[in-house]
């Protein structure tokens, strides 16, 4: 494995672990409330701006993954899509690049 691929894999792992270290305690405290989570993401202007930044980035990444993988009939990189929406762009993007 090249150093670049190893770096992408490390970033994908960190991109899963770090956000989940904050999200898991919130879920334990508040339950699996999607509405509550969206409300929390929109508590102030800074959080709302970050929320929309990540939503747009996730959509752009999904389009990129689909455009890159479907013509080649290579299905494995499609794992980046659920990683993006279930964990975050911080995991999905480096996973796709890996």
13 pLDDT tier (thresholds 50, 70, 90): very high
Of 73, 74, 87, 98, which Cα lies nearest the Cα of 4? 98
Rg over alpha carbons for the chain, rounded to the nearest Å, is 15
83, 95 contact by CB (below 8 A): yes
**Alpha-carbon span 89 to 63, nearest angstrom:** 13
pLDDT in tens, 47-88: 999 999 999 999 999 999 999 999 999 899 999 999 999 999
* Average pLDDT value over all residues in the chain: 94
Its domain, for residue 71, covers 3-97
What is the average per-residue pLDDT within 33-44? 88
Number of domains the chain is built from: 1
Angle value at C-alpha 56, between 25 and 70, nearest 5 degrees = 105
pLDDT at residue number 41 = 87
**Alpha-carbon span 98 to 77, nearest angstrom:** 9
What is the average per-residue pLDDT within 15-42? 91
**Alpha-carbon span 63 to 35, nearest angstrom:** 25
33 pLDDT tier (thresholds 50, 70, 90): confident
């Amino acid at each position: 494995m090249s150093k670049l691929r190893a770096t992408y894999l490390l970033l994908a792992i960190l991109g899963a672990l770090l956000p989940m270290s904050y999200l898991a305690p919130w879920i334990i405290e508040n339950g699996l409330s999607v509405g509550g989570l969206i409300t929390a993401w929109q508590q102030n202007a800074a959080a709302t701006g970050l929320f929309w930044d990540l939503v747009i980035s996730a959509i752009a990444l999904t389009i990129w993954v689909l455009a890159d993988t479907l013509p080649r009939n290579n299905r494995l990189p499609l794992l980046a899509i659920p990683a993006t929406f279930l964990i975050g762009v911080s995991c999905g993007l480096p996973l796709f690049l890996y």
